[in-house]
């Protein structure tokens, strides 16, 4: 199985990106509070995602009620 030259660029990019994420998450970055900042950002993103999911659930419930009403109409 031969990988084309542009495939190697993508593979090396993914490996480099993963290494940077691991280094940044473990606190070996240049800034002293990198790990704490990353944790705070991740927690904020989790809270935002939970709020979006709650809103999507409410929209889905409303859509289900509308669909039920439309199917009940003869």
Q: Which residue has the higher pLDDT, 6 or 59?
A: 59
- Whether the Cβ atoms of residue 37 and residue 31 lie closer than 8 Å to each other: yes
Instruction: Verify that 53 and 66 share a domain, yes or no.
Output: yes
Instruction: Verify that 52 and 74 share a domain, yes or no.
Output: yes
Q: Is the pLDDT of residue 16 over 90?
A: yes
Domain containing 50: what range? 33-74
How many Å apart are CA 34 and CA 29, to the nearest integer?
6
Residue 46: predicted pLDDT: 94
Q: Total domain count for the chain?
A: 2
Instruction: Verify that 62 and 50 share a domain, yes or no.
Output: yes
Instruction: Verify that 37 and 56 share a domain, yes or no.
Output: yes
**pLDDT digits 0-9 by tens, 18-52:** 888 887 777 655 555 556 788 888 999 999 999 99
């Amino acid at each position: 199985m031969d990988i084309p030259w542009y495939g190697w660029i993508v593979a090396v990019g993914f490996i480099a990106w993963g290494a940077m994420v691991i280094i940044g998450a473990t606190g070996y970055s240049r800034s002293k509070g990198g790990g704490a900042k990353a944790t705070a950002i991740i927690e904020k993103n989790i809270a935002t995602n939970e709020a979006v999911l709650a809103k999507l659930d409410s929209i889905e419930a409303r859509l289900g009620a509308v669909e039920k009403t439309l199917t009940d109409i003869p």
